Structure 1
Amino acid sequence: MHKSDIATLLALGAALLFAVGDVIQQRSAHDVTDEQVGHVALFLRLLRDKKWWLGSLVAAGGFVLQAAALGFGSVLLVQALLVTSLLFALPLSARFAGRRITRSQWVWAVLLAIAVAVVVTVGNPSKGQARAGFEPWMWVIATLGPLLALCLLGARVFAGKPVAAVLLGLVAGSLWGLFAVLTKGVVDQLDEGILALLKTPELYPWAVVAVSATALQQSAFRAGSMAVSLPAVTVSEPVVGSILGLAILGEMLRPGRSGWVGLGLVVVVMVVAIVELARGEATSGEPAPASG
């Protein structure tokens, strides 16, 4: 079996586990308290919630499969396939809520599946290097850092309004995209032994980013319904991960001279389908946001 095929299977398995974990965690974030709490306080309360830990353990399995997939394939390939987590979350969420999936949701689900297949096949993403040097990471910090800080500031200014959930979702999704790139660097050092792994520069920011992304994603889930938070997370993660894969890891899309326009249109369809699926999933039976 070709390495890209193995990466595809592992990424799809990760998408399934992420979907299950997200559905469980989102409900826990709303049920854990009726009080209005900050990001850290909410995260600390969730750490005492058994249902949230169940979702976290399932998601941890997804991270293991994602890391394995990144060992075999490019960030572009893996991140594109992880978008399919919404296709798994749709029937799971519907089953837990005791409702049926609408015809519109099925249409958007099919379009998303087709769009992902086109990106993976027509885009023909190539695998670049596993790690980036110091200078590219400085550029990432200098550009991405201020943008995420502004989103956090905006979420604080608009606390209690739907825009706060969007902004927190953008930060969480962006951090998960960054996490994917750091994961590829960490996985690259696993064969070198524990000592080499502990000396890997990516290891420690990788851990910090994982904890930060988890805490902010729970805050995004709680700040509003999944109609506003989930699209922001699901869209920003592959976008940021793919941009970083192209910019600092040297990965490439190879659609051919005539394929770029079609690939651009397919990406637009993918983003619209993600937003519509998340909105449909949320408005059909997700818990309402908690009041302060």
Structure 2
Amino acid sequence: MSATLVAVALSLCSAVAYAAAAVAQERLASRNPGSGLLALLGSGAWWGSVLLNGSAALLHVVALKYGPLTVVQPLGALTLVAAVPLGARIAGRRVSAVEWRGTAFTLVGLAAILVTASGSAPDEVLGTPEALILAGATATLIGMLAWPGARPGLRHATGSGVASGVASALTQTVTVAATDRSGSLLTWQVIGVALLVAAFATGGLLLSQTAYRGGLGAPLAVVTLANPVAAAVIGLTLLGERLRDGAAGILLALVGAGLATWGVLLLTRAAPAPAEVPADDDEHPVAAVLALRPDSASQEPALVPRRPQEPGHLTAL
């Protein structure tokens, strides 16, 4: 099996775990809209979502060892695709025609991107100066997007996506350098980059938790799209990754990105709004997600992406 196929398979598993974690986070945020960090740390459900995110991140790290950023990161859009049947399962309903169309557009777009971006296992890494400059620029951008007192929403989601994309790029540097016998980076340099990874990964998680207070649909879409965009920019500009077939490959990749984006938008706009979740329910998030059902015909289905409340609410990894 080629390295790229291994990376794709691992990315698929990672997307499913991330989807379950996102649903659990939205559920917790919707029932505790004013909760701070200390309250979250005392919640078993929140730690369950952290465990799901950690498992997804581990699979993602291994995928980055076998595939370039331009292959692995766009597959993050499958997180939203995986959330469709999960949301339908929770609500006890069938997947709608619009959701099927959104899934189809997303999958076709990702396939086009994979055709142009397929490449060998990564071998280039970011040097220490490059990593520090990238970290500083990213921290500045995130600070501008989510300054203290800013209303939770798409700015926080964008910051989360960017933080996660940069964390992935730095993770690839750590993974490749740690397994490279040539010693292109010193041990202390690898440790320093690993600390940056931890900082951006944690920041991305907390920013997404804040963004999900306004609902899962639009913020999850923005996180899903901002993440691969940030990572692809780094891969193409700093890590020497290239698209195949020259101008034709670039055109196909752009068409694929457009189709995938449109599919993501359809998925986030298709489903009805979620109902309130009882505040005293604090069981493990996966068990709660699979057991939850609407109590009556008049109750809205729970834990599915919300329809944006006004035009322009979702404007774009």
TM-score, normalising length from structure 2? 0.78
CA-to-partner distance for each residue in 1:217-253, whole Å, 9 max, x for gaps? 100001x122321111111011111111112211111
Q: Which of 234, 256, 260 is matched with 1:266 structurally?
A: 256
What's 2:125 paired with? 131
Matches within 5 A, 1:237-256: 237-256=227-246
Structure 1, unpaired ranges of 5+: none
What is the SS of the residue equivalent to 1:208? Answer: helix
- Contact 2:131/2:170 (8 A) holds in 1: no
Deviations 1:173-227 (A, max 9, x none): 110101111111222244479x9378532111111111111111100001x1223
Report the counterpart of residue 17 of structure 1 in structure 2: 17
Tell me whether 18-27 or 135-144 shows the greater mean CA deviation. Answer: 135-144
Amino acid at match of 1:219: T
| Corresponding residue of 2:8 | 8
Structure 2 counterpart of 1:156: 149
Change (3 A) 1:286 1:139: farther
- Report the Cα distance in structure 2 between the residues aligned to 1:104 and 1:3, rounded to whole angstroms: 35
Q: Cα deviation per residue 1:245-291 (whole Å; 9 max; x = unaligned)?
A: 11221111113332322321221111121122123246464568xxx
**Paired-residue identity, %:** 24
**Residue in structure 2 matched with residue 210 of structure 1 by the alignment:** 201
Does 1:183 find its partner at 2:171?
A: yes
Look up the SS of the partner of 2:246 in the other structure.
Answer: coil
- The residue aligned with 1:77 is 71
Q: 1:147 Cα deviation (Å)?
A: 2.7
Q: Deviations over 1:161-183 (max 9, x none)?
A: xxx41100000111010111111
SS of the aligned residue for 1:258 comes to helix
Q: Structure 1 residues 139 and 104 mapped into 2: Cα distance closer, same or farther (>3 Å)?
A: same
* Matched AA of 1:210: A
Answer whether contact 1:109 1:273 (CA < 8 A) is retained.
yes
- Assess, with a 3 A threshold, how the Cα gap between structure 1 residues 245 and 282 changes in structure 2: closer, same or farther: farther
When normalised by structure 1's length, the TM-score is: 0.85
Residue 83 of structure 1: SS of its match in structure 2?
Answer: helix
Give the whole-Å Cα distance in 1 for the aligned partners of 2:126 and 2:196.
Answer: 14
CA contact (8 A) 1:131 1:184 kept: yes
The match for 1:220 is 211
Moved more, 124-133 or 247-256: 124-133
Amino acid across the alignment from 2:160: A
What is the distance in 1 between the residues matched to 2:87 and 2:39?
23
Name the CA distance, whole Å, in 2 between partners of 1:107 and 1:22: 22
Structure 1 residues 203 and 138: alpha-carbon distance in aligned structure 2, compared to 1, 3 A threshold: closer
In structure 2, which of residues 80, 88, 98 is the aligned counterpart of residue 94 of structure 1? Answer: 88
- Aligned residue in 2 for 1:28: 28
Segments of 4+ in structure 1 off by > 6 A?
Answer: none
What displacement does 1:73 show?
0.9
Contact 1:105 1:280 in 2 (8 A): yes
Query: Which residue is 1:48 aligned to?
Result: 42
Deviation of 1:151 after TM superposition, in Å, equals 1.1
Q: Report the RMSD for the aligned CA atoms in angstroms.
A: 2.5
1:167 match: 155
Provide closer, same or farther for how the CA distance between residues 101 and 253 of structure 1 changes in structure 2, counting only shifts above 3 A: same
